[in-house]
Amino acid sequence: MIVRTTSSLTTEGCAPANNVIDPNETVTVSFCVQNGGTAATTSSLTGTLLNTGGVTGASGPQNYGLMAPGATVCRPFIFTATGACGGTLTATIHFQDGATDLGNAVYTFTLGT
């Protein structure tokens, strides 16, 4: 079971940086997940950021690799935010461990100005 943990905004496309995702801004966000199961994942655990919920132009899939039970791994994704100031952006990452579908991890952000 893959469990959403934290996320952090690492780069912003609009200057000056304000530590908030703004509408129409291209950003890099590091998304972290934890292996909440009792078995390790394979080395092919892949997360794909979906172009939904205000996310557009999402970068390609990221390999989260082999994760032991309880381990946490973070990977960066680049995307452009759409929506209105003060609105909600919902970033959804779909996980596959080889042929096994592990579902989605969902992160929400309030868009800035």
pLDDT exceeding 90 applies to what percent of the chain? Answer: 91
- Provide Rg for the chain, Cα atoms: 14
Tally the C-alpha atoms within 13 A of residue 102's C-alpha that lie toward its C-beta.
27
pLDDT level of residue 88 (50, 70, 90 thresholds): very high
What is the percentage of the chain residues whose pLDDT exceeds 70? 100
What pLDDT is stored for residue 15 in this prediction? 87
State the average pLDDT over residues 35-51. 93
